[in-house]
Structure 1
Amino acid sequence: MNRICELFSIKYPIVQAGMVWCSGWELASAVSNAGGLGIIGAGSMYPEVLLKHIQKTKANTNFPFAVNLPLLYPSIDEHIAIIIAEKVPIVFTSAGNPALWTNTLKQAGIIVVHVVANTKFALKAIDAGVDAIVAEGFEAGGHNGKEETTTLCLIPKIVEAVKIPVIAAGGIASGKSMLAAFALGAEAVQIGSRFAASVESSAHQNFKNAIIEAKEGATKLSMKKLTPVRLLNNNFAQTIYTAEENGASKEELSKLLGKGRAKAGMFEGDMQNGELEIGQVAANFDAILPASEILNEIWKEFLAEKEKLQRLKF
């Protein structure tokens, strides 16, 4: 039995990432209904909005789902209270110290998974008592690790360092890449960019179109002086790149970023002045599909490629 499937009580070891402005109740429930683990991205939600999305997810799926909770979120105590009150079964934490809330969540009977980008923080997550780890490589969209360690290098390093299940993330959007992650020691994959461009994604249609039109080299990791984020190239990204090349300070970059920039781009569809967070793997697909179809295609390809490798003779 796959440890992640057993831990989450899901059919397939495929997790949909909790992406800001893309991962609402429709996407989370669609992925869970298809046999994976759907996740609500709480990082862009006020407490009352999160409550609505949790309740709608519960109304639209009878299968397990999760909430992704950035630990630096200013209203996190309210989010935690809602998650516990609504009996959310699984929480993925990220962007902060897992020691702050892991025990509180586990005492409420919640499974806790933490997202890391290096071995140091993986070990801290172990000390905090998490049940599984997401190891996210440099290829990933959204917020990323400063070390720029690729998935191919990161996964085996973390698998070697911990005994709990590891979920691979970053650059995974197909059965082939899923199989590669398993070969490196992962027991599940977390997929963001491919689901961001799904029918049920809450992203603006303009952003979905931009994702599937993206070519190689269309994204770049930026703003390492603030919180590293991988951006799709547009006017805003070019402004950031230029500022960084000119040695802009943390304060100057923060001023350029302003407020509501990610919402403007990914949720409201401003393709030139908004912040567009997406992974390198966006260059690898070219169609907006239902989440269930995406998941089924990935799983079928995973099995087919696994069988093909088993037939190889050396």
Structure 2
Amino acid sequence: MVAWNRDESHLPAALRGLRLPLVGSPMFIVSGPELVIAQCKAGIIGSFPALNAREAEGEPPLLEIWLQQINDELDRHNQENPDRPAAPFAVNQIVHRSNVRLERDLEICNRYKVPIWITSLGARVEVNEAAHDCGGIVLHDIINNTFAKKAIDKGADGLIAVAAGAGGHAGPQSPFALIREIREWFDGPLLLSGAIATGEALLAACALGADFGYAGSPFIATTEANAQAEYKEMIVTSGAEDIVTSSLFTGVSGNYLKPSITAAGMDAENLPSADASSMNFGSGSSKPKAWKEIWGSGQGIGAIDKVMDTAELVDGIERAFLEVGARLANEFST
């Protein structure tokens, strides 16, 4: 088996030397300290939305507690495993006008020197400056080339191309088209989201020109994920045909599990649309509580056949990534 070895000179230090070119994407509710720590220990970048850390009124900021927990646990792991250090972690900031916590959360992440900041739903110069002030880098998620250029113009260091097939607020474009258009002008860090659930898909993302894959849905069905058992089981038993695209639940087009929509008493094949003006992150999510069990997912879940530990999932992705890479290298050898 060939080793994975690439030129990373164009990447910031925080993105170099990973076991695999893979980032675990931040998922509402699902991503918490346990999953992030497990992902980082497994050698990939783990992340969580800052808004997942919600404390009761009068309690200290839970975001601070989570950041301290993650830093302490990863430091302990690195001291005990100097030959197998953990990957860095990332925090996702929802940069939407309805996120009333944004300023507070930026200050906390700056103070804790979060190494990687993921920004969504708006590119703002002051957010990028807050990250750079503490030595962090910013990866901004986009769904088309126009938004990509705006993000870089406002100071983002890298891009997350959210293509068709991704979970949550997925973009409509093919990854073949989106990555190629961005690479025509941008040579910095580029991640690809959209059905990245296997080592083969990860290798394909790299072949297209992405530096990393960006995967969320496979990690829902892990023991460390903060998801209901029914949600995890639905990931295991569903496939691409079970994904429905709708704007009803948040006001923006997103991908959801059809069985969860049916269980809520709705006709998944005939959902009405909603306007983007209905999006509101004041409660931590743009999705109303009435639809809290409408579960998001990307199209790659057909590859997931059981609930497993994060370490086991990453092992399987790495095995296929290296095996298929070796086979292709042999086929192209002269």
TM-score (norm 1): 0.86
Instruction: Indicate if the aligned counterparts of 1:223 and 1:240 stay in contact, CA closer than 8 A.
Output: no
**Aligned-partner Cα distance in 2 for 1:107–1:251:** 32
Verify: 1:227 aligned to 2:252, yes or no.
yes
Alignment gaps of 5+ in structure 2 = 1-6, 56-60, 76-85, 281-285
Verify: 1:141 aligned to 2:167, yes or no.
yes
In structure 2, the CA distance between the partners of 1:105 and 1:172, relative to structure 1 (3 Å rule), is: same
Identity of aligned residues (%): 27
Q: Deviations over 1:6-28 (max 9, x none)?
A: 43344222111011111100010
1:277 pairs with one of 279, 290, 296: 296
Instruction: Indicate if the aligned counterparts of 2:11 and 2:188 stay in contact, CA closer than 8 A.
Output: no
Alignment of 1:169-208 (within 5 A): 169-208=193-232
Task: Indicate the SS of the match to 1:311.
Answer: helix
Instruction: Indicate if the aligned counterparts of 2:205 and 2:213 stay in contact, CA closer than 8 A.
Output: yes
**Aligned-partner Cα distance in 2 for 1:174–1:258:** 29
Kindly tell me the number of residue pairs found equivalent between the two proteins.
298
Deviation at 1:208, TM superposition (A): 0.6
CA RMSD of aligned residues (A): 2.5
TM-score (norm 2): 0.82
Q: Letter of the aligned partner of 1:87 in structure 2?
A: K
**Aligned-partner Cα distance in 1 for 2:92–2:156:** 14
Task: Indicate the SS of the match to 1:113.
Answer: strand
Deviation at 1:243, TM superposition (A): 4.3
Instruction: Indicate if the aligned counterparts of 1:123 and 1:161 stay in contact, CA closer than 8 A.
Output: no
1:155 pairs with one of 179, 188, 191: 179
**Aligned-partner Cα distance in 2 for 1:130–1:249:** 30
**Aligned-partner Cα distance in 2 for 1:249–1:172:** 28
**Aligned-partner Cα distance in 2 for 1:118–1:254:** 20
**Aligned-partner Cα distance in 2 for 1:298–1:292:** 10
Q: Letter of the aligned partner of 1:285 in structure 2?
A: I
Q: Which residue of 1 aligns with 2:24?
A: 16
In structure 2, the CA distance between the partners of 1:101 and 1:252, relative to structure 1 (3 Å rule), is: closer
1:301 pairs with one of 320, 323, 333: 320
Deviation at 1:122, TM superposition (A): 0.8
Q: Letter of the aligned partner of 1:11 in structure 2?
A: L
Alignment of 1:225-304 (within 5 A): 226-233=251-258, 234-235=261-262, 236=264, 238=266, 242-244=270-272, 250=275, 259-261=288-290, 264=292, 274-304=293-323
Q: Letter of the aligned partner of 1:57 in structure 2?
A: I
Alignment gaps of 5+ in structure 1 = 265-273
